[in-house]
A and B are shown apart, each in its own frame.
Chain A
Amino acid sequence: MEPVKSPIGIYIHIPFCRSKCPYCDFYSLTADENAFDAYTAALITSIKHWAQKLNRPFDTLYFGGGTPSLIGAERLARLVDASFSAFGVQKLDGGSKPPPYNIADGFSVGRGLAPAAAVPEITIECNPRDTGAKDSRFNFQTLRAAGVNRISLGLQSAVEAERKSLGRRGTADDVTRAVRHAKEAGITNISLDLMLGIPAQTLTSLRRSIDYCANAGVTHVSAYMLKIEAGTPFAARRGSLKLPEEDEICEFYLKACEELEKVGFSQYEISNFANPGFESRHNRKYWNCEEYLGIGPAAHSFIDGRRFFYERNLEGFLAGREPAADGEGGSFEEYAMLRLRLNEGLTQSETLGRFGYGIPEAMRERAKQYAEQNRLVSDGKGIRLTSKGFLLSNRIIADLLD
């Protein structure tokens, strides 16, 4: 009997934006309707190609960008349909509520056991203005019918002035409307993005953004500390941006962790917080070092121990260029580096299951000093960083893996 192939995650990149936010270094361009059509067609071709090549099912599908909502619900629905049919995955209907995510499932799936019948998690990143403006005609129903059961909205901040300084179109009200429309269509698993350490932010203004999230009726919050990326307008303007001091940013982060917890969003990763059961299954694959396929320019993949990626070039992708190799993946170091981003951390049992050996003694030794500083916990279950530890996770993880 053929062993059951474990399902992969699929990421589809939509590289279009109306305008480029000054802090963003993801690959995106402004474009028009024709480009959208051409691109959608190219994606479908690619989806079919990969489905045949890999011969494996998927259990998560994630549309990121750019601004996926920009190409419209119809095209997105077509892409979802194409994925289901190409990969031969059943479009199970989980009703109006998404199934709870059982963390143990990842473990059994990883061991090639028949997965619990799970409704595939299908996420679309949406721009609040496009999908929540008063005159928006974005059709969440179309998405729902295709099987989409999760959306992510870029709030960034509930404070208007802060949104403006980030170059964001739209208002908090747009977000509120978008959430309502999505829920009315039956999509209730909704995530909001927040940013920490943005120009002119204070603890008080952060509190307002968190309160908004608490009252928005959403299931998930991603709170990212702003990073000034080289080559972006923010990098050029660094001197004149009124960015908070490093100490303040640390305070904001720890405060955010605390406050989000209080209103029901449990931290499960460095920057991700969710109502229990509503963690992002797709992103979990990254941090659990599981396999995923990335389609579209700048999209990355990890299949069969190998990493590869499509270059940041739309023409290239449209012309059918093959992705470039990016080394091997799945080593213990890589796994540990990723797992330590989770609150769950590196566990003795899963490490043993995956590699045949448990957490090295040397790592436990090195973990001791950090445990003393309350930056991590090291016990029978495994090693996991605290929020305080997350702030210095680059340093700590590098040290643990030395």
Chain B
Amino acid sequence: MPNLKQNIRNFCIIAHIDHGKSTLADRLLELTGSVALRDMTAQLLDKMDLERERGITIKAHAVKLDYKAPDGKMYALNLIDTPGHVDFNYEVSRSLAACEGAVLVVDASQGIEAQTLANTYLALDHNLEIIPVINKTDLPAAEPDRVAAEIEDIIGLDCSNAPRVSAKTGLNVERVLERIVADVPAPTGDESAPLKALVFDSVYDSYKGVIVYIRLVEGKLKAGDTMCMMATGAKFTVVEVGYMRATHMEPAEELTAGEVGYVTASIKTVKEARVGDTVTTAANPAAEALPGYRKVNPMVFCGVYPADGADYGNLRDALEKLQLNDASLSFEPETSGALGFGFRCGFLGLLHLEIIQERLEREYDLDLVMTVPSVIYKIHLTDGSVVEIDNPTHYPDPASIAFSEEPFTSSHIYSPPDYVGAIMELCQERRGVFKDITYIASDRVDIHYELPLNEIIYDFFDSLKSRTKGYASLDYELIDYRRSSLVKLDVLLNGDVIDALSFIIHSEKAYGRARKIAERLKDNIPRQMFEIPIQVAIGGKVIARETVKAMRKDVLAKCYGGDITRKKKLLEKQKEGKKRMRQFGSVEVPQEAFMAVLKLDDV
């Protein structure tokens, strides 16, 4: 077999959201003839509807492109597509570990933004050769010179050879391919050494089982080999290996060091083929795994309940199916007095949560009630032990609590200078600790705050966007746990606690939140035959209250011939309305009331 390693280039495309990464990928596919033009649906690699709608990539994909360079030689270009959102940093880093180079796409009108930097730093951490590309030069607002200067100043990359392209129109995109061949180093690796292959992605397929995307660092792999997952110890017999093309899978006799491809081995779930794990062979196992494997931990939790209890089984099935392809989604059963049977789900972040919620509602046609998102708190008890709480209902007896800790993040907000005041105000409101503010460009500042995770997990991003007319962007990571004055708020209706509405909150915020909840409930609970006291309490102490007056009059004074069908319809509507009511003790609470409280937006 000829040594084609010299002709291999493994690269990815990194960029801030919407700078044109996927469009550029599409053009590369087109140019290398990987996809017939007429088969192109824009942004082919974003297969899921949801991805396309939101214009983001959720799952990484890899495609092998055959490129005939100007020098006449054939090159195998392995394009590894990566998620751009901060929630999925780990997946991005594993994809980067599979590459030697990274094409950095920067929007010629927006310039450098939060993830531009975040991903660039990640790429540099992985010692990738970075090829800057300035995109969207077709836009009237494009300022390629300015952006090139920005890149040189802030990142320190030489942009004299940086292709200035329009991925949309295709202008200059061939230059990108030329630069990849010229500047990205070819992979190295010894074919005869024990197999070490990095898992950088996996996809569940109903026919083949899990398809594992791998980058072989050393050794080789073929059908019939017994492969071994080094972190989990699981062993599988290889059914097939090959290359991923844009539109189909191309089986091959074997994969060798330096190459990127896939392996199938009748693996049942993606949990058995974890991103970041190392594949080796049972016959000739590697001594050490590749570095960087990390068990991904959820950061944000919420309760997910079916609106109709009868849907519980469907919800469970749906979560199981989603988990097939999403190893970072965690869930376990939980019950609530108010909402019945449901699940406590863990997500990488808010975007992850929203995506899962939308997929459940749309793909599986489920009507859901989601409870307030929460984080993991560390509660130190008086007896010296520490409990980790992600569910308010497990909050220990306040008498037994010595002190509590909450997770803190290091957050960077990038924005034009005009909005610094509004942003700092927002961060102060969210109990942020100011760290630093630096100008990273003449019209861009980096505001660095340490913010409690629970303050930013819900609507912080939306508030940020609305206060800055959409210009600000956010990047955050968990840094540590800090002592915090936490309390648990309970909501009582007609004297009964509704556990689904309980949550843990910083004591500073408790009163304000309690009042808001009481008001929201009052506005959303319809009057019933008796007066309903609404109380919000900490421990036994009521700190906010409202009352829903008793209904006194609900009558149709006239009911003659023409009114009868109308009355019947009203009755039908009332019945429908009842279905959306949850009986809690003697109080009927409509779904809307829950949503209004649980989806509190404090803007």
Contacts and interface: CB of A to CB of B under 8 A. Distances in A.
A384 interface: no
Given A247-B552, A333-B568, A393-B554, 20 more contacts: A224-B557, A271-B557, A283-B560, A286-B559, A298-B562, A299-B562, A300-B565, A302-B564, A326-B565, A337-B567, A373-B529, A392-B554, A393-B556, A394-B554, A394-B570, A394-B574, A397-B571, A398-B571, A398-B578, A401-B571
11 contacts: A227-B558, A246-B553, A286-B560, A286-B564, A299-B562, A302-B561, A329-B564, A337-B568, A337-B571, A341-B559, A395-B551
A4 B559 CA distance: 29
Nearest to A223: B557
A341 B567 CA distance: 12
Interface of A: 11, 64, 224-225, 227, 246-247, 249-250, 253, 270-271, 283, 286-287, 292, 294, 298-302, 307, 309, 326-327, 329, 333-334, 337-338, 341, 373, 390-395, 397-398, 401-402
Interface in B520-561: 529, 551-561
A270 B564 CA distance: 15
A286 B529 CA distance: 28
A391 B552 contact: yes
A338 B559 contact: yes
Interface string B559-592: 1111011011011001100100000000000000
A392 B562 contact: no
Contacts of A302: 561, 564
A247 B551 CA distance: 10
Contact of B562 (A309, A329, A402): A309
A227 B565 contact: no
A247 B556 CA distance: 16
B561 A395 contact: no
A397 B555 CA distance: 10
Given A286-B559, A398-B571, A334 B564 contact: yes
Q: Which of B555, B562, B564, B574 has the largest number of chain A CB atoms within 10 A?
A: B555
A283 B562 CA distance: 12
Chain A CB within 10 Å, residue with most, of B553, B567, B568: B553
Contact of A338 (B551, B555, B564, B570): B564
A253 B557 CA distance: 11
Contact of B561 (A246, A301, A373, A397): A301
A334 B552 CA distance: 24
B526 to A, nearest CB: 10
Contacts of A299: 561-562
B399 to A, nearest CB: 39
Contacts of A64: 560
Contact of B552 (A250, A294, A307, A338): A250
B568 A334 contact: yes
Contacts of A247: 552
Nearest to B555: A393
Contacts of B574: 394, 398
10 nearest A-B residue pairs (beta carbon): A300-B561, A300-B562, A394-B554, A398-B574, A225-B557, A224-B557, A395-B554, A393-B555, A250-B552, A271-B557
Contacts of A225: 553, 555, 557
Contacts of B556: 270, 393-394
Contacts of A309: 562, 565
B562 A307 contact: no
Nearest to B552: A250
Contacts of B575: 398, 402
Contacts of A397: 571
Interface in B158-217: none
Contacts, number: 90
Nearest to B559: A341
Contact of A307 (B558, B564, B570): B564
Contacts of B578: 398, 402
Nearest to A370: B529
Nearest to A390: B555
Contacts of B565: 300, 307, 309, 326-327
A3 B555 CA distance: 40
A62 to B, nearest CB: 9
B551 A392 contact: yes
A309 B560 CA distance: 13
Q: Which of B551, B552, B557, B565 is most buried by chain A, counting CB atoms within 10 A of its CB?
A: B557
B553 A391 contact: yes
B98 to A, nearest CB: 60
B553 A249 contact: yes
A286 B560 CA distance: 6
Contacts of A283: 560
Contacts of B554: 391-395
Contacts of B568: 327, 333-334, 337
B553 A392 contact: yes
A294 B561 contact: yes
Contacts of B553: 225, 246, 249-250, 253, 391-392
A300 B564 contact: yes
Contacts of A393: 554-556
A279 B79 CA distance: 87
B482 to A, nearest CB: 52
B561 A270 contact: no
Most chain B beta-carbon contacts within 10 A, residue among A224, A307, A373, A392: A392
Nearest to A331: B568
A11 B565 CA distance: 16
Contact of B558 (A271, A329, A338): A271
B38 to A, nearest CB: 51
A92 B492 CA distance: 68
A392 B529 contact: yes
A369 B237 CA distance: 68
A401 B565 CA distance: 16
B427 to A, nearest CB: 43
Contacts of A298: 562
A84 to B, nearest CB: 21
A332 to B, nearest CB: 13
Nearest to A389: B555
Nearest to A301: B561
A251 to B, nearest CB: 10
Contacts of B571: 333, 337, 397-398, 401
B561 A391 contact: no
Nearest to A225: B557
A327 B567 CA distance: 13
Contacts of B560: 64, 283, 286
Nearest to A271: B557
A13 to B, nearest CB: 9
A111 B484 CA distance: 78
A271 B563 CA distance: 14
Contacts of A246: 552-553
Contacts of A392: 529, 551-555
A225 to B, nearest CB: 5
Nearest to B574: A398
A392 B567 CA distance: 15
B552 A11 contact: no
A60 to B, nearest CB: 12
B143 to A, nearest CB: 55
A390 B554 CA distance: 8
Contacts of B567: 337
A392 B528 CA distance: 10
A299 B570 CA distance: 20
A354 B308 CA distance: 36
Given A271-B558, A390-B555, A395 B564 contact: no
B561 A286 contact: yes
Contacts of A327: 565, 568
Contacts of A271: 557-558
A337 B570 CA distance: 11
Contacts of B558: 224, 227, 271
B296 to A, nearest CB: 48
A71 B565 CA distance: 29
